[in-house]
Amino acid sequence: MRLRMIRYQVPNLFLGLVHVAARLLWRDPVAKPEPTPPKPFRKPVLAYTIGDIPTELMAVVRIEWLKGNGHASEVEEYQIEECPDAQAQFSYVVGTALRQGADVCVLTQYQPVDLDVHE
C-alpha cells in the first residue's frame, strides 16, 4: 500500500495582512459628500443706448455669447438698415439672442417704445 502525502498550502501571512489592511483602510465612506449645487440661472442682459449712428441704419446690435464660466466666447454684430421690415428684423435678432441666453447691446436713434422693447 502506498501512502499519499497530502500537502496543505499554508496561506502567506504577509498577503493575508495586506488583504485585511486594504479592507479596513479603503472602504467607501458611509456618508457620501454632498454634490455641489448647480450654478444659478443667469439672466441675459439687454443694454439699450440711444445715440448718433448713420441715417441709413436703424440700429447696430451687438450680441455676446458666453461660455459656462462667464467669459465671452463669440461676439456678433448686426447693422440693421432702414427698410420696411427693419423692425421685424430687429425683433427677431434681439429676441432670439435673449431667448438663447446671450447678452445684447443695442445702439439706435429710436426710443425703446418705438422698437417695442419692454423691460
Residue 75 lies in a domain: yes
Answer for the pair 63, 78: CB distance below 8 angstroms, yes or no. Answer: yes
Write out the chain's pLDDT in tens, 119 residues. Answer: 555 655 555 566 677 777 777 777 776 666 677 777 777 777 899 999 999 999 999 999 999 988 876 777 899 999 999 999 999 999 999 999 999 989 999 999 999 988 888 76
Any domain includes 99: yes
At 17, list the grid cell: 495582512
Q: Is residue 54 part of a domain?
A: yes
CB 113 within 8 A of CB 100: no
Question: What 8-state DSSP symbol labels residue 75?
Answer: E
What is the span of the domain harbouring residue 100?
46-108
CB 53 within 8 A of CB 45: no
Query: Domain for residue 72, yes or no?
Result: yes
Q: Report the domain count for the chain.
A: 1
Within-domain flag for 104 = yes
Q: Please report, as a single letter, which amino acid is at residue 87.
A: Q
Kindly give the residue spans of alpha helices, DSSP state H, lying in 1-119: 13-25, 86-99
Is 10 contained in some domain?
no
